[in-house]
Amino acid sequence: MSFSPTWPKIITSLIESNDLSVSEADWCMTQIMTGAATEAQIASFLIALRIKGETVDEVVGFRDAILDHAHSVSISPNSLDIVGTGGDRFGTVNVSTMSSIVAAAAGTPVVKHGNKAASSQSGASDVLRELGINLNLEPDQLATVFDATNIAFVFAGRFHPGFAHAGAVRQQIGVPTVFNFLGPLCNPVRPEASAVGVAQLDRVPLIVGVFQTRGANALVFRGDEGLDELSTAGHSHIWEVTRGGVTEHDLDPRDLNISKASIDDLIGQDAAYNAKVARDVLAGHDGPVRDIVLLNAAAGLVAFDLHDKPASAEIPLLDRLRTQMAVAAETIDSGAAQAKLAEWVGATQAFDSGE
């Protein structure tokens, strides 16, 4: 159809199993982000889209509109995001959050994008608040913190005000929609490197496709049991995205001398419990949680090297992960990771929390 969209045209087209163009998808999400769409229109659109199935072009259009309406942040995209889609239903501890702190302490600029819990009792924002991070920062304050510490947390609930227009509808319809996996693609800083865990296998081609469209570098991965992390409880599948294309890998953690864990070893609880686990890991405590943090921090460091040192892609992935796991372990054991958390807390607390 020609580009003169209206909600009746869009919804009818989706019902007829027609895909949207990037421009049409951008229009739809712009209507939602600006509050121009009614709840009935949003609900009808999300359900029709889910029944048809999303395409890469549609997700690109949605992402573009979301980023256009996000608060901008003056932080260099020469940075890394370690993030998961959530929704794996396991309720594990905050692996990507701990991994982000380790990666930053190892010298990699990290801009983590995250929100409240999706499928666990404690999401990234919940555990970071419990650890003492002030989340109520203005964009210029966030940039100041990043410049001082090499790490920042972009709280989706604060930097994407347009999400609020769809919040009630999403809660009322109670089924997964495109919003459930857009988060990792919508970091306002637009980092050049990402390590992204994906819980739902059918979402992987969409996320990989969007990174390809952006020309970004990423490791996208999924534990075979459904974890949105690189798993230490079994094999993981990895999609390595570079400007040269996509390479798929199968990872057995035993090839990295990681003892096999059970999912029960990785289960978290509320924010207070998960924050204690994080403090223990960053302080150097051994065990299954340390192992999975080392592995996922290594994935982040490998992803950043794809951007910062493109020739690294020629080295076998297993060797790169092994090298970066050693870096992550030394970062923790030297006290640098624990010190990085303390430095980060102090930098954010220099500003009024507004609470």
* Binding site per annotation, positions for anthranilate: 84, 115, 170
Q: Torsions phi, psi of 96, nearest 5?
A: -65, -30
Q: Which residues of 302-340 are buried (b: 16+ CB within 10 A; e: fewer)?
A: bbbbbbbeeebbeeebeebbebbbebbbebbeeebbbeb
What's the one-letter identity of residue 128? L
Token pair, residue 239, equals: 């999609």
The annotated binding site for Mg(2+) is made up of 96, 228-229
Ordered strands of the 151-155 beta sheet: 151-155, 110-114, 80-84, 193-197, 217-223, 236-242, 245-251
**Rounded distance between C-alpha atoms, residue 72 and residue 65, angstroms:** 13
Interatomic CA distance for residues 11 and 6, integer angstroms: 9
Query: How far apart are alpha carbons 277 and 122 in whole angstroms?
Result: 12
Annotated binding-site positions for 5-phospho-alpha-D-ribose 1-diphosphate: 84, 87-88, 92, 94-97, 112-120, 124
In DSSP terms, 48 is beta-bridged to none
Query: Which residues carry a binding-site annotation?
Result: 84, 87-88, 92, 94-97, 112-120, 124, 170, 228-229
CA distances from 300 to 7, 108, 294, 303 (A): 40, 9, 10, 5
Report yes or no: 196 and 84 within 8 Å, Cβ to Cβ: yes
Greatest alpha-carbon pair distance for the chain in Å reads: 60
User: Which residues in 128-145 are b (16+ Cβ under 10 Å) and which e?
Assistant: bbbbebbbebebebbbbb
First to last CA, the chain: 49
Placement of tokens 């999912």 in the chain: 263
Calpha distance 45→162 (Å, rounded): 16
- The alpha-carbon radius of gyration of the chain (Å, integer) is 20
